[in-house]
Amino acid sequence: MFKNAQVYRLPSNYDIDAQRLEACLAKHRFTSCNSAETHTQGWSSPLTGGPLVHSAQRQLLITYATEKKVIPPSYVDKQCKAKAAEYEQQHGFKPGRKARKEIKEAVIDELLPKAFTVDQRTSVWIDPINGWLVIDSVSDAKAGDVIKLLHKCIDKFPVQRFKTNRSPISSMTDWLAADEAPSGFTVDDNAELRALNDGKATVKYVRHSLSNEDVRNHIASGKQCTSLALTWNDRLSFVLADGMVLKKVMPTDLLKQNASEPCADAIEQFDADLVLMSGELHRMLTDLATAMAGEDVTQGDWVQESAKAQVVEHQRASEGSVGDDVTLYAAAVELVKASNQISPSMLQRHLRIGYNRAARIIETLEKRGIVTAPDAGGKRYLQNQLVLAD
């Protein structure tokens, strides 16, 4: 369903559903170019004849559509030269800069109705429960266009790039240098190593073993890994590139075999595929963040929201109303059990509270036996399972 992935973040349990999103996207519904337009963009139906938002088990799928009229530049130049020759014959001198510009504009206007069009459709998956937004594209420009249009449709749309505490390049380089993939992942047989100097010397490995001295020699000489083929839990294979871009995302044969029985109805099958792939991507991206020293939650709007939360917390504390918040505590327990992680920053982001309050919740979890005290390495444990900590 998704061949590529530009990954963005939304707040967990983001308050939007198919009906509300449909109303927002309807402001910019896709229409084809008219005779005077060279390019149009908007939202189209993921399924022919269906609504703008397709929903299955609260997973949302939308489609960004563009249409561009294409006129071969060589033909435009040919027509412009012919028009310029006519101009010179009529006026007795060659057209100047302004006249040439007017000639070109007139030629393009004349050719537009005859131009052929190029249509493109880009799928966008939104998971409001776990806070993911994924664009099926490797192009930063295309992803930027999608996000800009979403901002036009949704007021104060709280989206930002998915970032980790360690960069993909540093992480991938270390994995190759140590000849050891992170837990849950295996390194496949495709990679690209590039020098950081002005020469940018590049070495590509295609269907070639990466567990050899040659690879480590390139890394020792200063090259870094800019893309690496990986497989996650024998279920999804992909190529990880700089900027947290996933290319060539493919379900493995094992995942296909474990999928539910084919549905008789095409729409039911589409829904089943959407739910399956969204669940796999959520778990894979979570594991990928863990492999890169955790998700960076101190960027952009998260910092501002956290600061606001701490101000509110301080005000409540001064009024004596903080105390033992049963609702927040219950939510924290469920969050820790579901994600097998615990840290103040994680609770900040998911529960939208300040750092001090998040730290107190963790202390309460420890006192009540939900998590252990931190060991010498600062790690806590939950039900005999390792839990990460800041």
103 plus 246 within the same structural domain: no
242 plus 146 within the same structural domain: no
**Mean pLDDT (the chain, rounded):** 84
The answer to whether 87 and 100 are in contact (CB under 8 A) is: no
The answer to whether 346 and 296 are in contact (CB under 8 A) is: no
Q: Where are the alpha helices (DSSP H) in 221-299?
A: 253-258, 266-291
> Per residue in 332-378, pLDDT tens?
887 777 766 677 767 776 776 766 677 778 888 888 778 777 765 56
**Its pTM surpasses 0.75:** no
DSSP-derived secondary structure for 146-171: HHHHHHHHSTT---EE--BSS-HHHH
Burial of 355 from C-beta contacts in 10 A (0-12 / 13-18 / 19+): middle
Listed ranges 34-38, 72-76, 278-282; the one with the highest mean pLDDT: 278-282
In a domain, 125, yes or no: yes
Q: Residue 261 pLDDT more than 80?
A: no
In a domain, 293, yes or no: no
Cα–Cα distance measured from residue 91 to residue 269, given in angstroms and rounded to the nearest whole number: 68
Which residue is associated with the tokens 């094992």?
Answer: 254
Structure tokens belonging to residue 107: 């030629």
The answer to whether 339 and 290 are in contact (CB under 8 A) is: no
In a domain, 211, yes or no: yes
- AA identity, residue 334: E
In a domain, 290, yes or no: no
154 plus 65 within the same structural domain: yes
Q: Dihedral of CA 190/191/192/193: which sign?
A: negative
Q: What is the pLDDT of residue 60?
A: 97
* Residue with more model confidence, 243 or 311: 243
**Confidence tier at 379 by pLDDT (50, 70, 90):** low
138 plus 33 within the same structural domain: yes
Q: Dihedral of CA 123/295/163/330: which sign?
A: positive
In a domain, 289, yes or no: no
> Per residue in 172-218, pLDDT tens?
999 999 988 999 999 999 999 999 777 789 999 999 989 888 999 99
18 plus 78 within the same structural domain: no
188 plus 253 within the same structural domain: yes
Cα–Cα distance measured from residue 135 to residue 123, given in angstroms and rounded to the nearest whole number: 6
Burial of 36 from C-beta contacts in 10 A (0-12 / 13-18 / 19+): exposed
Q: Where does a domain end: 126, 159, 192?
A: 159
62 plus 134 within the same structural domain: yes
Domain count, the chain: 4
Q: Which CATH number goes with the domain that contains 341? A: 1.10.10.10
Residue numbers of the domain that contains 207: 168-266
> Per residue in 201-210, pLDDT tens?
999 999 998 9
Instruction: Give the angle 2-38-64 at the CA atoms, nearest 5°.
Output: 20
CB < 8 Å & 24+ apart, contacts of 113-117 = 113/35, 115/69, 115/70, 115/71, 116/69, 116/70, 117/32, 117/33, 117/67, 117/68, 117/69, 117/70
Q: What is the pLDDT of residue 308?
A: 47
Secondary element (H or E) of residue 82: helix 73-91
Q: Residue 324 pLDDT more than 50?
A: no
Query: Backbone phi, then psi, for 343, in 5-degree steps?
Result: -165, 150
Residue count of the chain: 390
